[in-house]
Chain A
Amino acid sequence: MTGLKTEFPADWHDRWREAHQRIDHAGYGELVASAYRKCGPVLAGRVGPDFAVRLGRTVSTVAIKSGRRAALVLIEAAWEISGLATDSAQTRSWLDAVDSVARQAPDALSAMLSNTTRIVRELGFDGFQTFVRMGLALSLDDRGRRRAFFALESGEARQALEYRSGSQSLSEKIPQLKHYYTALWGFSPPVAAAPADAPEPMRRRAGFGGGGIRLPVAFAGFTDTDQKALYRAALAHIGAHHRYSREKFAAKGLKPLQIALVSLIEDARVERLATAAMPGLQSLWGRFHIARAEGAPIAINLMARLSRALNDPSYSDSHGWVEKGCSLFSEAMSTDITDQLLSRRIGGLLGNDLGQMRLQFDAKTYVVQPAYRDDNLALWDFGEEQENAIEIEAMAEGARIDKRDEADGRREEGAGEEEKAGKLSEARPDEGVIVARYHEYDYVTGSLRPNWCTVREVSGKLASEKSLAALRDSRSDVVERITALINASRVSRQERTRRQPEGEFLDTDAAISAMIAFRNGEAPDTRIYGRYERRSRDMSVLVLIDASYSTNDLVREGGKSVLSTEKLAGAFLARAMAGLGDPFAMAAFCSDTREDVRYLRIKDFQSPFNDYSLARLAGLEGALSTRLGAVIRHAGQEIAGQSTYRRLVLVITDGEPSDVDVEDKRFLVEDARAAVHELNREGIDVFGVLLDSEAESYASRIFGKRNSVLIGSAEKLPEALPLIYLRLAR
């Protein structure tokens, strides 16, 4: 009981005694009880008595849910955390987070507690809370995955940690790196992060093959600035392989050491060729060659020295083997540098020499040096045992499920536009193609979860001729009214009109010619004013149709389902806009957890609206859930390419976002609202057309009161439209 008097204020004595006695008598074992008794006063001194007392309750929860060991770890962690906290709100939030993990994921608690200091150090207390919420939301029934997350073993966890710690994560760098690669080499293969479950060596070094480039999520042990240069160096190097390594080497009959050496020489050869075209690459690569002519003469050391000697002409190394490598190389260079077989020859010779020197080489632990170089797997043809080649899980960027015209006007499924470099690994058609990942907004912590939602493009079903005809031919009077409404609306930049009978400024040219006519004795034209007005409609529209399960509910009026009303409204709009020639696109969406947000294209901006699009619209079925935020973000990407004056995303929905992996109803509402705001910041308007049904509607929260309208049936659409166009004509 040392320190009791000094650490706890007098009015806390009783509460502290009560707290530690409860632990003493609860039967968690003497170890836990004494640790708590010893720790309490110190914690009280550091961050206040309430923390020490409150910790008691959490210790009980943890001991019951996750066992005594975990309780012990908790006390240790609390000790460390108390050193990091600056105020009591932080420690309180930390305990709350521990409580929630103990209740919802007791099996992952120990792992989380032992990493808690690291997470708090990197992300801060707010970040810690976000991190914990991410882990708990990961997957409600996949325990292994959750545990891996809290143990910081999964790729997602690592990504979250990196994303938070201020430095740019790889996924943010990729667009820039792709441009860099394209600028250098003139074509753009897909670039992606190495999958989190790839074998260790592949996560440490870049690689290529299968038409794409894989980059490690981070290069361990390098600073931020170095990372950036490393990624560039890696891409420059891989590009050099793409350009100059024409054929694969046959690995058959070669020892691992020989393979490594042939690769090393080939690396040097392509770099030499690339440097001739782009001399600046020499210094980009050179800064990572740091081997020096010293140290133990073991194989990997000598190889690093040879690499440097081949890269850096000013480097001198007196080791016989390195010298021999250099002279063989420069000799071969001077005869024919484009001969790829020289690498094979020299590498083989050098391999024999190293073998005779009886130097150790452990192929299992070998990683290519320097760090920017790729793992060279793509250089080799391993024959039958091709297990090394893993597929790159690259996002099918720009790829889409495309339809081509057939002679009879119907179209056939075809593969998307592939990048020049080669085919991506295509997913099975029913799974769709992964086209993008988006963050999600967590309103509780007010922060973003990076790369949280995966959007797939799926191909939908085609409806029968009959239901199609119903959409095609129904109510042309409504279509006509909509057409007239849209046609009358003026959404464009203001233009200057001249020669007006009245207006806000004097049209000088008209005034002069009036004066001239006057002096010539003719009757002058009195239209000498000009004004600014919107004369045309310069707007593109993307219509999003909610095809989730809740759209099977009935609309309050008329007894039709929400989905069939949506289809009808969509068809009306599409027919009107197609008739007017306005640029528009249409897509439907639904979702099944954050990993499977489905986006179904009905019509693209470039393609015509024909029976085929109608058949897809008519073929929609209400299934699964509504993850609105991710879909709105994807729609934003889609419409961002349009260069019209205004861009509008029109969401036709029942107004209730939900998904099976989210329990908190408000969560997806707030995320969708955040997504709408993101689009608004890009200058894209988002408008909600709500169908009045049994489903609970959060429309005004998501879209804002002014940007959503409620309609009872598709026929009422003409009444809602003027509102939308009026808002846009600001």
Chain B
Amino acid sequence: MTQTRRGADAANPLADFMITSEPYFRPVGREIELYEAAYKARMPIMLKGPTGCGKTRFVEHMAWRLGKPLITVSCHEDMTASDLVGRYLLDAGGTVWHDGPLTLAVRYGAICYLDEIVEARQDTTVVIHSLTDDRRILPLEKKNEVVRAHPDFQVVISYNPGYQSVLKDLKESTKQRFGAIAFSYPSSNVEAEIVMREAGVDRRVADTLVRIAERSRNLRGQGLEEGASTRMLVNAGLLVAGGIPIEEASQVAMVVPITDDPDLREALTGAIAACI
């Protein structure tokens, strides 16, 4: 969002990944101090928390604060180790090695953020093992090269405990390499502040939206996997700021996306009416 793109600079291949303006982040606890201390030690960090509570925003904010480039990789099931590390590609002259995002970060010193790491297969995630202990190296087997990590390099992963299942969990050996910072939805006052700031709505609208979110979070585990996240609230706020009545905005941003069960929808609709 706040990342601006300039032409890639040969001298500084990470220029594109610098964050130039401050991403808004409202600290709830001591997460900034914790992160700074962890970064000083280059300790790998795991951000845990429900979807849409600000994990990604936090990393962006910290990268900006520390003045380091940030390389984000959204993990998915089909991702292979070479998607992270890099591969040989063909061009007119023959074969060329292309660094993957992880190698790029290791070589030139960036914070590498692996978003939703549990989505990737476990055999893919083990490539970070040699980077997350005291070796701090990345062997590139195909190229017969060992990349030693740049002093600025750090790994950050995010992780949603709500999705945990036998199939989608981190290996114990992966988990144990990380320090973890837990995130949750902020208290209603702080959340309203965030919605006001991010969506540009007034206090009254923000308060109402937060009340609605609390209602939907009450249904967590009672039919809903997750209640409405802060991100959804901001979305609803943006719709309201765009002239949509709050009831409709809540439907569009906070009810219809999260459930297809007609009973739950009805119940949520009623709960929204109760909050306005």
Report A's interface with B, CB cutoff 8 A. Answer: 175-180, 182-186, 188, 232, 236, 277-281, 284, 496, 509, 512-513, 515-516, 519-520
Contacts and interface: CB of A to CB of B under 8 A. Distances in A.
Interface string B250-276: 000000000000111011101111111
Contacts of B268: 179, 183
A280 B276 contact: yes
A180 B270 contact: yes
Nearest to A274: B274
Interface stretch (B3-11, B172-180, B216-224): B216-224
A330 to B, nearest CB: 23
B274 A284 contact: yes
A182 B222 contact: yes
B223 A179 contact: yes
A280 B275 contact: yes
B274 A176 contact: no
B215 interface: yes
Given A176-B266, A516-B88, A516-B90, A184 B271 contact: yes
B41 interface: no
Nearest to A496: B78
In the complex, the 5 A-B pairs of residues with the closest C-beta atoms, listed nearest first: A179-B267, A176-B263, A183-B271, A180-B267, A280-B274
Interface in B80-95: 80, 82, 87-90, 94-95
A89 B185 CA distance: 65
Interface centre among A175, A236, A281 (most CB of B within 10 A): A175
A515 B219 contact: no
A300 to B, nearest CB: 28
Nearest to A512: B90
Nearest to A515: B90
B263 to A, nearest CB: 4
B274 A184 contact: yes
Nearest to B247: A280
Contacts of A281: 274
A232 B271 CA distance: 9
Contacts of A179: 219, 222-223, 263-264, 266-268
14 contacts: A179-B223, A180-B266, A182-B267, A183-B215, A183-B219, A183-B268, A183-B271, A184-B215, A184-B271, A185-B218, A186-B218, A278-B275, A279-B275, A516-B90
Interface residues of B, number: 30
A115 to B, nearest CB: 33
Contacts of A178: 267
Given A179-B264, A184-B271, A185-B218, 16 more contacts: A176-B262, A176-B263, A176-B266, A177-B267, A180-B270, A183-B216, A183-B267, A186-B218, A279-B275, A280-B273, A284-B274, A496-B78, A512-B88, A513-B87, A516-B90, A519-B90
Interface of B is mostly: helix
Interface centre among B95, B223, B274 (most CB of A within 10 A): B274
A186 B276 CA distance: 18
Contacts, number: 72
A177 B263 CA distance: 8
B106 to A, nearest CB: 22
Contact of A184 (B88, B208, B218, B223): B218
Nearest to B80: A509
Interface of B: 78, 80, 82, 87-90, 94-95, 208, 211, 215-216, 218-219, 222-223, 262-264, 266-268, 270-276
B90 A236 contact: no
A277 B215 CA distance: 11
Contacts of B222: 179, 182, 188
A179 B223 CA distance: 8
Interface centre among A175, A182, A186 (most CB of B within 10 A): A182
Nearest to B94: A519
Contacts of A284: 273-274
A516 B61 CA distance: 41
Interface centre among A277, A278, A512, A516 (most CB of B within 10 A): A278
Nearest to A283: B273
A284 B271 CA distance: 11
Contacts of B80: 509
A519 B218 CA distance: 61
A188 B222 CA distance: 9
A176 B264 CA distance: 6
A184 B266 CA distance: 13
Contacts of B219: 179, 182-183
A211 to B, nearest CB: 17
Contacts of B262: 176
Nearest to A175: B263
Contacts of B276: 279-280
Contacts of B94: 519
A520 B223 contact: no
Contacts of B95: 516, 519-520
A182 B268 CA distance: 10
B274 A182 contact: no
Contacts of B208: 279
A281 B274 CA distance: 5
Contacts of A176: 262-264, 266-267
A427 to B, nearest CB: 25
A515 B96 CA distance: 12
B88 to A, nearest CB: 5
A185 B82 CA distance: 50
Contacts of B223: 179
Nearest to B227: A183
A643 to B, nearest CB: 8
A515 B216 CA distance: 54
Interface centre among B216, B262, B267, B273 (most CB of A within 10 A): B267
Contacts of B274: 184, 236, 278, 280-281, 284
Given A182-B218, A513-B88, A516-B88, A278 B211 contact: yes
B185 to A, nearest CB: 14
Contacts of B272: 280
Interface centre among A176, A185, A512, A520 (most CB of B within 10 A): A176
Nearest to A181: B267
A728 to B, nearest CB: 20
B227 to A, nearest CB: 9
Nearest to A235: B270
B255 to A, nearest CB: 11
Contacts of B216: 183
A179 B258 CA distance: 14
Contacts of B270: 180, 183, 232
